[in-house]
Structure 1
Amino acid sequence: MASQNWIEILQSAKKTALIHDGKRKIHYLFTDGKEMAEEYDLKTDELIVRKWRHKSTLGAHGQWQQEVGETLVSPVTSLDAELIKENCSNPVLMRKDTKTSFQWRIRNLPYPKEVFHVSVEPTERCIVIKTSNKKYYKKFNIPDLDRSQLPLDSSALSFTHANNTLIVSYKKSNEILTMEQNLMKELKKLKGSSDDNVDCKTQ
């Protein structure tokens, strides 16, 4: 029943929709002042981006925090180029879901698949990635399961490794799939500006 609470919070949020550039963009404003922005692929309904913004104690808008999708890096000036070059070999974690799984990609991990150990820590409600060569360690939670207060299941977890990228997948439960389908039905009913309107303005 707990998952119902999150769906109720989503339903009671003030939502605005915009269809642009092949994406359905939804902005949520929650009663506690938090904001969430999502972008869905119009053809597949797949979630591409989810970001959150919280107000500070003084009521000012904070920075957007990325939950799903790639964080856009601002254009690099020639002065910054050297600094960025040094760090570009660091592992980069990005969440990119599919219709049936939550999925994380960690780039710049050049070790063989056998080195990786990926597990679920049910008590800490997180996924843990470690390497037998002690070169990488990462712990992260699945906010979607936390919000719906659903348990973590080891059998839902799998991982692959290719092109220096570790791909960790967690199969969505029936409760999550049903909730996402119901939400998408609701989002499709929202009256929002369409591509035609937006394109006319931008041309």
Structure 2
Amino acid sequence: MYRSDLGRGTTTAIKVSGRLRVQTTYEVSGVEMVEEWSSPTSLLSRRWREASALGKDGEWEWEIGVRPPARVEAGGEIKASDVNPQFIGRDSEDKFVWHVTRCPWPEDNYSVSYDGERDEFVLRTGNRKYYKRWRVPTLVRMGLGGEGLEVRVRWMGDGEDLVVIEVEKNEGVKEEERRRRKEREKAAEGMEGGGGDCKQS
């Protein structure tokens, strides 16, 4: 969700199948965010949706994790190719992480740069088989750019065919995430009795 005007939100936390599910609703902007955590520092997924002008819920946008596959009705519908690379957002305490699957080309084929004019990172392959531009929603929400951030690209071959892109988080991002971690912990207090919630500023 590429917005910096989310406003004040209310967060609720519950345990679902051994995971902590954190749901935040931003009253003024009409945006909803849902995260799932396997531990206080291990984020499994983060998704967003925004109500339409008529008040209907919009489609979920996945920032972290993988969108579940859509059901295929009898008679079939067009499905995305399962041989093309797939770009997946991940996360860690110190880095923004993305995985690009189905990339069989060797490591020296990949390069990542930052386009300051468009505020986007760019992944290119030397053989021109794959090209991807993307923004980092967390940086957008905090009003920050990606200039000067350390970027690392690794290729996991030997049958995995996985490219791992890591961008170092600056201290401002880490501090904000520590603050939000405390809010999650507060929201989770007493959830054994049916859930906890807290206000966000």
- TM-score under structure 1 length normalisation: 0.82
Higher relative contact order (CA 8 A, sep 6+): 2
Q: Is 1:40 matched up with 2:14?
A: no
Could you say what the CA RMSD is over the residues aligned between the two structures, in angstroms?
2.5
Question: In 2, Cα distance between the equivalents of 1:57 and 1:7?
Answer: 17
Displacement of 1:21 in angstroms is 2.4
The one-letter amino acid of 1:66's match is W
Question: In 1, Cα distance between the equivalents of 2:149 and 2:48?
Answer: 29
- Which one has the bigger strand percentage? 2
Question: In 2, Cα distance between the equivalents of 1:144 and 1:155?
Answer: 14
Instruction: Specify which of 180, 183, 187 is matched with residue 183 of structure 1.
Output: 180
Q: Contact 1:18–1:192 at 8 Å: present in 2 too? A: no
Q: Following superposition, which runs of at least 4 residues in structure 1 exceed 2 angstroms of deviation?
A: 6-9, 74-81, 191-194
Count, aligned residues:
187
Q: Contact 1:120–1:127 at 8 Å: present in 2 too? A: yes
Question: In 2, Cα distance between the equivalents of 1:32 and 1:8?
Answer: 6
Q: Is 1:104 matched up with 2:98?
A: yes
**Larger mean Cα displacement after TM superposition, 49-58 or 71-80:** 71-80
Query: For each residue in 1:136-180, what CA deviation from the matched residue of structure 2 results, as whole angstroms up to 9, or x when unmatched?
Result: 110000010111012313441111011211111011111111111
Instruction: Specify which of 20, 23, 35 is matched with residue 24 of structure 1.
Output: 20
Write the mapping of 1:28-107 to structure 2, written as runs, cut at 5 A: 28-30=24-26, 31-42=28-39, 44-74=40-70, 80=76, 84=79, 87-107=81-101
Structure 2 alignment gaps of length 5 or more: 196-201
Question: In 1, Cα distance between the equivalents of 2:43 and 2:173?
Answer: 13
Partner of 1:170: 167
Partner of 1:193: 191
Residue 192 and residue 33 in structure 1: after superposition, are their counterparts in 2 closer, same or farther (change >3 A)?
A: farther
Q: Contact 1:16–1:192 at 8 Å: present in 2 too? A: no
Query: For each residue in 1:30-64, what CA deviation from the matched residue of structure 2 results, as whole angstroms up to 9, or x when unmatched?
Result: 1211111111222x522211111111111111111
Q: Aligned to 1:28, what secondary structure does the other structure show?
A: strand
Displacement of 1:78 in angstroms is 7.8
Percent identity, aligned pairs only, is 25
Write the mapping of 1:6-25 to structure 2, written as runs, cut at 5 A: 9=7, 12-25=8-21
